[in-house]
Structures are given as C-alpha cells and as structure tokens.
Structure 1
Amino acid sequence: MRASRFFISTLKEAPSDAEIVSHQLMMRAGMIKRQGSGIYTYMPVGLRVIRKVEAIIREEMDKAGAIETLMPVVQPAELWQETGRWDKMGPELMRVKDRHGRDYAIQPTSEEVVTDVVRTELKSYRQLPINFYQIQTKFRDERRPRFGVMRGREFTMKDAYSFDRDVEGMQKSYQIMFEAYQKIFTRFGLQFRAVAADNGAIGGTGSHEFHVIASTGEDALVYCPTSDYAANMEAAEALPLIQARAAATESLVKTPTPGKTKCEDVAQMLGLPLARTVKAIALTVEKEEEGKVAKENWLLLLRGDHELNEVKVSKVPGLSSFRFASEAEIVEAYGTLPGYLGPINTKQPVRIVADRTVANMADFVCGANEADYHYTGANWGRDLAEPMAVADLRNVVEGDASPDGKGVLAIERGIEVGHVFQLGTAYSAAMNATFLDENGKPAPLQMGCYGIGVTRILGAAIEQNFDDKGIIWPQSIAPFELVLCPMGYDRSELVKEQTDSLYAQLQALGVDVILDDRGLRPGSMFADWELIGVPHRIVIGERGLKEGNLEYQGRRDEAATAVPAADMAGFIKDKLGR
C-alpha cells in the first residue's frame, strides 16, 4: 500500500465532544467519522483494524468447530414476542414497522432468530452438537451514547450460539468457546482477564465476561492474586466480615443526631468508627392481588462503610422486581424522611433483609425512624427481631477474603469486550425448540451463547495502549504492521531506489507495509504514523544510505536503531516473528 493511494486524514486536536482517550485518538487518527449520536462511519484506517480483528475471530471460531452464518439485522417481532423480550428489552430495542404495519426489531442480538432456525432445521440428536456464529451489525438504542465506539448505538459484534442435547454437552461446548476466547484475546495482543459474571437480561445459569485491563475501564474486576478466583463486581461474593455475633454490651439509647443523615456524619458526631453504623435502604415491591396492586415494604441493612450491590439484591427471593421506595412511601411506612430510617419501631410492617456482616453485628448504630435521632447500642433479638433473611447484599472491597479461601481480593478496572453464557433452555423452552432423542421422544435443546464486541475491541485496545503521541497498536491488529518513511522520496533517486527495493522485499515476505510517498516533511510524516499507531517504522535517508544504514524504530522505542540496509528485510522478518 502506498500512502498516496490510501486515505489518511489526521487532526492535530480532538473534537470537543470526544470524551475519553480512545474516542479522541480514533477521531484524530481519522479512524471514525461521527454521523449521528452513537453512530459512526469507519474510515479506511479504522476498517483495516476491524478486518484484522474479524480475521482472528474467524480463524479461532472455525478451529473451535463453529460454523459461520449471517442472520438478518431486521427481525420479525413475533420471534421476540415468543420469548417475552419484545416487552422486557424496553427502549433499548429499536422497533420499526414496515409499509404493511408489521412490527420488526433491529437486532441487538440474535437468540430468537437462531433458535427459530434450529427448531425448523434440526430434528435429531444425531445433528448435535452444533454451533452457529456470525459477525454482524447490531443496534441498541442507548439512552446516552458516549465514549465513541465504547458505548455507541450501532456496532459490530461476533455472536455464536451452541446447541446440545443435555447439560453436560452444553457445558462442554461452553468450555470450548471459553478456551477459544482466551486464544482470541491472546492473539489480539491485549492484557485481559476472564471473570465470573451475572447473566443479566440474556438469562441462563452461568457466564463469564472477558475484560481488557485498563485504568479507564468502567467495570471493577475482582480477583485473588494467589488463586484462580475472578469475578466482576456484580457477581463477586462478599463473605461476612464478622464470623460470629458478640453478646450485647450496651443499652439501646435513642441519641440526638440533629441534621446528620449520613452514616459518615453520624459516626463522626458520636466519635465511633463508621463500621459500627448500619445504613437502611427502603425498597418497594408491587404485586397484583385480585386485580389490585399491593405494595410490600422491604428494608435492606448494610454496614455504613459498604455499598449496595443491586444485582445481588435482585436475586434475593421476593426482590426480583424491586424498586427504591419514593420519599412519600418512606414517610408512610417509617414515619420519617430518608436519613433516619432503621429497623426498630417502623410505622408499618416491613420485611427486613440484613447483609451477612450486619447480621453478625452487635451494639450497632441505626436510624430511629424519627428526624434528628439514631439508636446506639442496637442488638438483634433484644431490640429487634432477627431479620427475615440474611443475604450477600454488598460490593466487595479490596482486602476482603477470597471466597475460595486462598487469599485476599484485589480490584482492578476493565473494559468488557466479550461475554459467554450458559443459557440452558431459557430460549428453547419458550420457543419450543426440541430434538428427538434415541427413543424418538422430544427434548428441549440446551443452548449457550457467546459474544465479542468487534468494534469495541478498537476502543479497548487504545485505552490500554497509548502515549502522548497517539495510539500504540498491538502488531496483530494494527492497521499496518510497518511504515516506510523515505526522506525526500520525490527528490532523491538513491532514496527512491532503496525504498522501492525494500518495499518489494517486504511485500514478498508478506509484511503488511505502507510506503509514505506523500512528500511530507519528516516531522509531519512521523507525527501522522505515531498518532495512527503503526508499531514498526523504517526511515530511509541519504545520510544513512551513504553509511550503508537504515533506521528502525519500534513504536514504544525511545530511540532509533541503525540497521545495515542489506540486512533490514531479515531484521524486520525476525521482529515480526515471520
């Protein structure tokens, strides 16, 4: 590729609406052009990266036995209605009507379509297992698209779907895909971590997320440095920090705390550690009974220095459809405004769920359900009934004991780029997707699904690999592996001859090389390629050629290395691992 025949459009400054590093650098490097909120055109430089990402994915998926297909972007509403996701997905699911008034969805994912294909095409256990995958455009109508390709509305995704006859087979298919993902992300040249995760809206019984490690990542990853334990914050188990409840040593006292509505302020006023306080979070659950909506009052209790984990709350029996109580509901149920809530002497009956640590606390501080007052010396059994339920309700913190008992937990930031799910029969049961077993009896198909955010990989890779000059692409997914930068290509016959000769040698070796023949000054030429992030650069100049040398510099190298001109092709071959 010659730069004069390619399209390169770099910017010195990032547009004002580019919020994070990857967004700024992709705009500046001319990789993307914004067409609308969360919608981008991928320019030639960006598209080359996408194609390399896709090529690695295809190779590893094919090796793992998955079969490529291509499912429609626009999908009939009837399929989504079968699983109930037409309503459950909410406004993120883009709905459209055709000229006949029929409803369609612009796909954010394809579980329904692939299940429909399989239920009509696969009949016998002899056709199982099977795994279909696609690399296809997706659309999710994000409420607030941001961060460039990291949270756009239109994006490219690889999604795969396995079908097996039983749970054991599904788990085997899942493990095959898990290992394929590890190979894919290793080949991308990215530092990543696989963590146990919550299935969320997809449904199913178990899942893992794949995260690219980056300090700017939105997700907190929890892991044990001395074991294999790893989970995202939503799924990480928090063990009780108090192993057994101590006996009460204080009397229950209603203590004035004027204007102190936060545990931190109450603890400071009372001269107590924050860990002695308990925060109360009021929830409401609405249930339909005999045609009327009935409300249940729930109160969650956490230690004052802990944060609520809403995903864990949704798994507590009875709280799958919870919402936070309104101020009016709080006043009605507890007789006070938020900030003074507690489990003692509530105005109305309340279902109390205590976090594991709180359930073992003694002599704790909690709200008195009266403005400007808290109780000190509160104790279970004596001052209030034992909680209706004890559950893991909190986010783990660094230094907590690892659930596997093999060390303590650490936390780092990550960007989710892949997710694998054990779906079981969540979709096959809803859509009556069955096969005939050896006895000729129908049985539901066991499913797994496996996604990689193809375009999101670009943003994640940049967030992990950049400096003050621009992007630093891993070699395997760089738009070009190597750039030739001749000094005076249009003025020096010696430079032109040597450049053209080296260019031909490198192409013959299969190197993805671009020759910058645009006639730019050295500073401008180098700045472009450092911004774009090409990992290897060779400079060809008359001064060096007179000494028989060319200059090589890796994108992360602080200085150039002189290499004999006759040896450069072999030198590059070794550098690229050819």
Structure 2
Amino acid sequence: MHATKYHIFTLKEAPSEAEIISHKLMIRSGMIRKISGGIYTHMPLGLRVLRKIESIVREEMNRSGSIELLMPVVQPAELWQKSGRIKEYGPELLRFKDRNGRDFVIQPTSEEVISEIVKNEIHSYKQMPLIFYHIQTKFRDEIRPRFGLIRSREFIMKDAYSFDTNEENALISYETMFNTYSRIFNKIGLEFRAVTADTGSIGGNRSHEFHVIAETGEDTIVYDKYSTYAANTELAEAPCLILERGLPRQKMELAQTIDINTCNKLSDHLKVPIQKTVKSIIITTDSENKQIYLLLIRGDHTLNDIKVKKIKGLDKFRLATEQEILDSFNCKPGFLGPVNVNKSIIIIADKTVANMSDFICGANIENMHYIGVNWYRDLKEPDIICDIRNVSIGDKSPDGKNLLSFQKGIEVGHVFFLGTKYSTALNVSFLNKEGKSTITQMGCYGIGITRIMGAAIEQNNDDNGIIWPRSISPFEIVICPIGYTSKNKVQETAIKMYELIKKSNIDVILDDREKRPGIMFAEWDLIGIPLQIVITEDNIKNEMVEIKIRKTNQKIKISMTNLIETTKNILNNL
C-alpha cells in the first residue's frame, strides 16, 4: 500500500463533543467520522482495524467448533412478542412498520431469530451440541450515546448461541465459549479480566463479563489479587462487617438536627463516625397492591439496585415519590428511619445494618434523629436481612482472607447461560433418546467488535496518539522516506524495502507523500503504527536504517541486510 493511493486524513484537534481519549484519537487519526449521534462511518484506516479484530474472533470461534451464519438486521416484531421482550427491552429497541403495516424491529441481539431457526432445523438430540454465530451490525437506541464507539447506537457485534440437550452439556458449551473469549483477548493483546456478572435484560442464571482494563471504563471490577475471585460491582458479594450484634449501651434519645438531612452532615453535626449512622431508602412497586419498602444501609455505603431487584417481588421496583413517602411516614425525606413505622411497611436491612447496635437514624420527625437505637429493644427486627449494598474499599473477599481490589474496566464481551428462558417461550424442542419432546438448553455469547477498537485505544495511548497492539493495527510497519519525491536513491531504497517487507507477509505501507519529516512522523505517531522505518540519504550511504518502536518511542539503527529478521523479532515481542 502506498500512502498516495490510500485515504489518510488526520486532524490537529478533535471536536469538543469528544469526551474520552479513544473518541478524540479515532476522530483525529481519521479512523471514524460521525454521521449522527452514536452513528459513525468507519473510514479506511478504522475499517482495517475492525477487519483484523473480526478475523481474530472468527478464527477462534471456528477453532471452538462454532458454525458461522448471518442473520438479518431487520427482524419481525412477532418473534419478540413471543419471547416477551417487545415490552421488556424498552425504548432502546427500534421499532417500525413496513409499507403493509407489519411490525418489525432493528436487531440489538438475535436470540429470537436463532431460536426460530433452530426450532425449524434441529429436531433430534443427535444434532447437538451446536453453536451458531454471526458477526453483524446491531442497533440500540441509546438515550445518550457517548464516548464514540464505547457507547454508540449502531455497532458491530459477534453474537453466538449454543444449543444442548441438558444443563450439564450446556455448561460445557458455556466453558468452551469462556475459554474461547480468553484466547481472543489474549491474541488481540489486551489486558483484561473475566468477572462474574448480572444477566441483565438477556436473562439466564450464569454470566461472565470480559473487561478491558482502562481508567476511563464505566464499570468497576472487584477482585482478589490472591485468588481467582473477580466480579462486577453489580454482583460482588458485600460481606457483613459486624460479625455479631453488640448489646445495647446507650439509651435511645431524640436529637435535634435542623437541616441535617444526609448521613455525612449528621456525622459532622454529632461528631460521630459515619459508620454509626443508618441511611433509609424508600422504594415501591407499581403492582395492584402497592407495597412500601424501607431499605436500610450503613451511612457510608451505597445501594446496589441489581441486588435489590433479585429480592422476590422487587424485580421492577422504583424509588417512592415524595408524596408516597409523606403518606407512609408523615415526614419528608432526609429524616426517615425504621423506628415506629407503620406495620405494613416491609423493612429490608443490609447484613451489616442488621448487626449494628447503638446506631443513629431518622426519627420520622422533621429535623429530628434518634441516637442510641437498638434492634429488638427499640424497634422490630428487620423483615428481610440480605446483601443490598455495593462493596467498598476495605471489604474482604468472600473467603474472608484478603482485602478486595478495585479496577476500572470497559466491557467488551459477555457470556450467558440462558437455560430454557427463550427455548420455552419460543417452543424450541427436540426428541431425546427415548423419543420424547424436550425443551432445548441455550447459551448466548457476545463480543463488541467496534467497542474493542475503542477499548484498545483507551488502554494503549500516549500524548502523541494511539499505540495499536500489533495484531489489530491498520498496518504493522510504515516506511517513512525523507525526500521521497526529490531524492532518487531514497525513493529506490524505499520501494525496494517496501517490496521486501511485503514479500515477508508483513502488513506495510509506504509513505510516498510530499510531507515534511516532522509532520510525517507526528501523523504516524497519531495513527499508532507499531514500527516506523526511517530512510535518509545518510543512512543509505552507511547501509543502515532507523527503526522507531511506537510503544516505547525507542529508536534503533540496524543494517539493511538484517531488516527483515530484526523487524520480525521486534514485532513478535510487542
């Protein structure tokens, strides 16, 4: 590839809307161009990256025994009605009617379509286990697309679906995909962690997320440095920090707390550790028989919505309105607590709160709090005691041996064991060995192809631009001749070197444009090609070339006769 015959158009500045480094660098380097909010054109350089990511994913999926097909972007809404997700998925699911008034959706994922295919094609246990996959454009109508390719509306995803005769075999397929994903991210060359996670809107009862480690990540990963334990904060188990409830030592008394309506303010006002305070959160559901719930967590902790949703009957909870709170507590928020509440209110206490003694909480009287509150003596025991908080710094791992560590990550892959969630709804069945009709066990597995591109940049960049891992860089080597159009010897050497490298199956581009050296080098630093080979007249006279390693910015001079061997060694060790 010659640069004059390719499209390279870089920018000195990124648009103001670009918030994170990958978004800025992809626009500046000419990888992507915005067409609409969350919708991008992948320009030639960016497309080369995507195709290389796809190639690695496809190679490892095929190696796992998975079979590729291609499902449509447009799907009949009827299938989504059968699965029940037409309502569950919400406004992110883009819906439309065709000219005949029939309902369709633009696929965000393909569980319904693949289930319909297998329902009609797979009839016997002898045809399983089976894993189908495709690499296809997806669309999710994000309310606020941001961060470039990290959270766009249109994106490319590899999604796979496994079908098995029983749960035991389905979990084998799950492990196959888990191991395949680990190989994919290792081959791309990214630092990642696989963590246990919530199943979310996809459903199912087993799930792992794959996160690329990056400080700009939206997710927080919790892990134990000394064991295999790792989880998303949504699912990380928060330990009870008080092993046994202490005996009461204080008398319960009212304290005036004018305008002191947060635990932080309360701690400062009463000059007590915030760990002695209890935070009250009021929730309800929109069911026919509306029920008010009082959730209690320690003052320095935060509520974990995902854990709350797993409590029976609270899968669709919401925060209570101010009027609902006034009706139930006769007090406005900021001064609420569990003492003397209406018997109809269900109290759910976090495990740590359930073991607290002599604690401080709202008195359900404006500008008043109780101090010295104790369970059983001053109020009824909680109706439900469970883990409803996010883990925090200082918490121990589930085995109680080590402190948990925290990292930011960008989710780039997710594997789910679905069980029979979709196969039951869509009647996907087969005949077992006894000839009896049996519901198929399913799993689904997704990788964000376009998101990997953004995540790779978030993890690999410096002040000068992108630092691509060799495996997905648009080119592995760029030849930078100084004076290509004006110095015959430089041009001859550059062309000869280009042909030699190309014959060695190394992905190379020759910059034959009329660019000043400083501008040329800065542009290729921005684009992030792993190796720059610099050719000058002086180096030619000495039969030498200069190699710049983008990752370290190290420059080395080598003999032209050792060019291929040296560049291969460097690339193999990046």
Tell me the TM-score normalised to structure 2 length. 0.99
1:463 aligns with 2:458: yes
Q: Per-residue deviation at 1:577?
A: 2.8
1:505-544 mapped onto 2 (5 Å cutoff): 505-544=500-539
> Secondary structure of 2:370's match?
strand
Q: Kindly indicate whether the alpha-carbon contact (under 8 Å) linking 1:502 and 1:569 is maintained by their aligned counterparts in 2.
A: no
CA distance in 2, matches of 1:561, 1:117: 57
Correspondence for 1:105: 105
| Residue 550 (structure 1) aligns with | 545
Q: Does 1:15 align with 2:15?
A: yes
Shift in Å at residue 348 of structure 1?
6.4
- Taking the aligned partners of 2:132 and 2:400, their CA distance within structure 1 comes to 39
List structure 1 runs of 4+ shifted beyond 4 angstroms.
Answer: none
Instruction: Tell me the equivalent position of 1:291.
Output: none
Q: What is the percent sequence identity of the aligned residues?
A: 54
| SS at structure 2 position matched to 1:560 | strand
Shift of 1:405: 3.3
Structure 1 runs not aligned, ≥5 long:
289-293
In 1, the alpha carbon distance for the partners of 2:358 and 2:433 equals: 63
Equivalent of residue 352 in structure 2, options 345, 352, 357: 357
Structure-2 separation of matches of 1:317 and 1:426: 18
Aligned partners of 1:226 and 1:406 also within 8 Å: no
Q: How does 1:121-520 map to 2 (within 5 A)?
A: 121-288=121-288, 294-347=289-342, 349-520=344-515
Structure 1 position 4, deviation (Å): 0.6
Partner of 1:58: 58
Higher alpha-carbon deviation: 263-272 or 508-517: 263-272
Unaligned runs of 5+ in 2: none
Partner SS state of residue 19, structure 1: coil
Shift of residue 545 of structure 1? 1.2
C-alpha separation in 2, matches of 1:468 and 1:118: 50
Q: Deviations over 1:218-274 (max 9, x none)?
A: 000000001000000000000100011011111110111111000111111111100
Q: Take 1:267 and 1:487, find their aligned partners in 2: how far apart are those partners? A: 67
Q: Deviations over 1:35-64 (max 9, x none)?
A: 001000000000000000000000000000
> What amino acid does structure 2 have at the position aligned with 1:126?
K
Is 1:119 aligned with 2:119?
A: yes
Partners of 1:337 and 1:433 in 2: CA distance: 52
**Once superposed, what is the RMSD of the aligned Cα atoms?**
0.9
Q: Counterparts of 1:385 and 1:274 in 2: how far apart (Å)?
A: 23
Counterpart residue identity of residue 419, structure 1: H
Deviation at 1:433, TM superposition (A): 0.5
C-alpha distance in 1, partners of 2:184/2:568? 23
Q: 2: CA distance between counterparts of 1:210 and 1:404?
A: 23
Partner Cα distance (2:111, 2:164) in 1: 15
Q: In 2, are the aligned partners of 1:227 and 1:406 still within 8 Å (CA)?
A: no
Mapped partners of 1:558, 1:127: distance in 2: 54
How far did 1:543 drift?
Answer: 1.0
Aligned length: 573
Query: Could you tell me how far 1:287 is from its partner in structure 2?
Result: 1.9
TM-fit CA distance, 1:347 = 4.8
For residues 269 and 202 of structure 1, the distance between their equivalents in structure 2, rounded to whole angstroms, comes to: 46
Shifted more, 448-457 versus 563-572: the winner is 563-572
Q: Distance in 2 between matches of 1:459 and 1:370?
A: 51
Task: Name the stretch that deviates more: 59-68 or 488-497.
Answer: 488-497
One-letter identity of the residue aligned with 1:380: W
TM-score, normalised to structure 1, is 0.98
> How far did residue 512 of structure 1 move?
0.2
Q: Distance in 2 between matches of 1:213 and 1:573?
A: 28
- CA displacement 1:115-137 (0-9 Å, x = unmatched): 00001100000000000000000
**Residue 85 of structure 2 corresponds to which residue in structure 1?**
85
